Structure 1
Amino acid sequence: MHIKANGLRLSVTDEGRGGPALVFLHYWGGSSKTWREVIERLRGSHRCIAYDHRGWGDSEAAPTPEGYHIRRLADDCEAVIGALGLDDYVLVGHSMGGKTAQLVASRRPAGLRALVLVAPAPATPTGVPAEARRSMTHLYESSAGVEQAIGVLAGRPLSAEQRSRVMEDSLRGAPPARAGWTEVAMLDDVSADLQNIHVPTLVIVGEADHVEPVDILQREVVARIQGARMEVLPATGHLPMLESPDALVKHIRRFVDEEHRKD
């Protein structure tokens, strides 16, 4: 289905039942399909909602990179939550979606129960040099570029189906959305907002993640969010939902169940 959010039509999937609902936010280059293995394991006990960020998957694109500031992505997330009438939910954000989820949580929206950050991009501006960011922007213009990206992102071999899915998602991204992350949202500094996050927060990171390494996420994410804790997935890179879905689901389920029992 599609939901109108801030002037754009966003593609949304809504599966399963049970609370709290889980709202999944994907990475730069992905789509709601990135979460397929995770949702298949969780939809029997939780309502699982995943949407394509503006310019990715089947969602409409903003026309220029300036339309992709992290605040715009956070506004979209809140619009989806509002359109679905969610009043008891957990945000699960990965990489770019993790930076977005941090900002949404800092706004203290009604109904937010907890926050799960999977290899999240920090709220601070990236330290990646401008030339490297420009190179990143062009990676998703060709199959060879996507293959190169997979080599950096994945710490374990992906199945043929997974590689095909990553390839399709990455190549489908609208040019403004590709540049919107590397030229705009990566540079947004929303770190001051993190002091306003007052929900239980779990950060999950791959031991072999070279994009968002454990030590950086400990310093830039865990240390900035009150009460946040970290779980490290062994022999896993930047795509835990593809590389280690069972381990990822175990941590999500345990964390969400713990918070649910506290009520």
Structure 2
Amino acid sequence: MLTEIEVHPFVEWGSGDKTLVFIHYFGGAAISWQWVAQQLPDFRCIAFNVPGFGGTSAPQKPTLQQYADTISQTLADLNLKNYSLIGHSMGGKLALQVAINCDFSPQQIILIAPSPPTQEPMPEAEKQRLLDHHPSTENAETTIKNATQKPLDEEQYAVAIQTHKIVEDAAWRWWLLEGMNHSIADQIVQLRIPVTVLASKDDPVIYYSLIQSDVIGLLPNAKLITIENVGHLIPLETAEWTATQLRQIILSDQE
């Protein structure tokens, strides 16, 4: 499945007047959104492969700004001027950076279990495990087990393992050593775009208390929608719920 999109910066599903642009989680890829997109056939869904993920090449020295510029350029190339930007985990921080800088900002931002615009905390032992054992099947399996509350089906699990293993080392190390620690909290105060946050109260990676303090606390006009008994990989663990929330958010914004 992934070999079909390795050389492409994005993958696309569906069609419609409204466009949803997706940015994946750390260890994911554009294809990680397929189960959500399948529930939204009446929307144009475009999912990016962040450089270094999903089989794409990583920059030699990645930065948050460089990634945001790459995504913004792809948006410009696609001539997208009427779209909603959706970011999961790492993709949430990237979505905020894109919205801050992009000349043609999204109509709204939807953050799913987002890495906070401040610094994302991670136990040092966990960070060292991820750095020391990438790429390996065992490392991927441990990561997925630690991140989820609901079991993935066979296809989802296989894709999650594969996307985890094919992340290029430069991108992998950048996020763990720099990206997750890069605060853009001082920049988001200028955002005037509606923001909705989807979060699980049982997320074992981005704790709900962190969502409250470092996401909602810094985006006081943001709307918060919560779920329970779901882990960090919300778009995989509960794709139908995720798609339902996206549909309601997008359509209610048009009323």
Classify the secondary structure of the residue corresponding to 1:221. helix
Contact 1:139 1:149 in 2 (8 A): no
1:57 is aligned to 54
Q: CA deviation at 1:130?
A: 4.9
The one-character-per-residue Cα deviations of 1:223-252 (angstroms, maximum 9, x if unpaired) are 212410111122110011111111111111
Classify the secondary structure of the residue corresponding to 1:106. helix
In the TM superposition, 1:1-263 aligns within 5 A as 11-42=9-40, 44-63=41-60, 66-67=61-62, 69-107=63-101, 109-128=103-122, 130=124, 132-261=126-255
Task: Name the CA distance, whole Å, in 2 between partners of 1:34 and 1:152.
Answer: 18
The one-character-per-residue Cα deviations of 1:12-68 (angstroms, maximum 9, x if unpaired) are 1122222321000001100001101001111x22111011111011322212xx31x
The one-character-per-residue Cα deviations of 1:201-229 (angstroms, maximum 9, x if unpaired) are 11001222011111111110112124101
Task: Name the CA distance, whole Å, in 1 between partners of 2:18 and 2:161.
Answer: 32
Contact 1:86 1:111 in 2 (8 A): no
Contact 1:30 1:169 in 2 (8 A): yes
Contact 2:136 2:165 in 1 (8 A): yes
Classify the secondary structure of the residue corresponding to 2:198. strand
More displaced stretch, 183-192 vs 127-136: 127-136
Contact 1:156 1:243 in 2 (8 A): yes
Classify the secondary structure of the residue corresponding to 1:204. strand
Classify the secondary structure of the residue corresponding to 1:191. coil
The one-character-per-residue Cα deviations of 1:55-91 (angstroms, maximum 9, x if unpaired) are 011322212xx31x22122112101110100010000
Which amino acid in the other structure matches residue 185 of structure 1? G
More displaced stretch, 69-78 vs 47-56: 69-78
Question: TM-score with structure 2 length normalisation?
Answer: 0.92
Question: TM-score with structure 1 length normalisation?
Answer: 0.90
Contact 2:99 2:105 in 1 (8 A): no
* Runs of 5+ unmatched residues, structure 1: 1-8
Which amino acid in the other structure matches residue 106 of structure 2? L
More displaced stretch, 161-170 vs 135-144: 135-144
RMSD: 1.6
Contact 2:55 2:167 in 1 (8 A): no
* Runs of 5+ unmatched residues, structure 2: 1-6
Classify the secondary structure of the residue corresponding to 1:202. strand
Which amino acid in the other structure matches residue 96 of structure 1? M
Classify the secondary structure of the residue corresponding to 2:53. coil
Which amino acid in the other structure matches residue 50 of structure 1? A
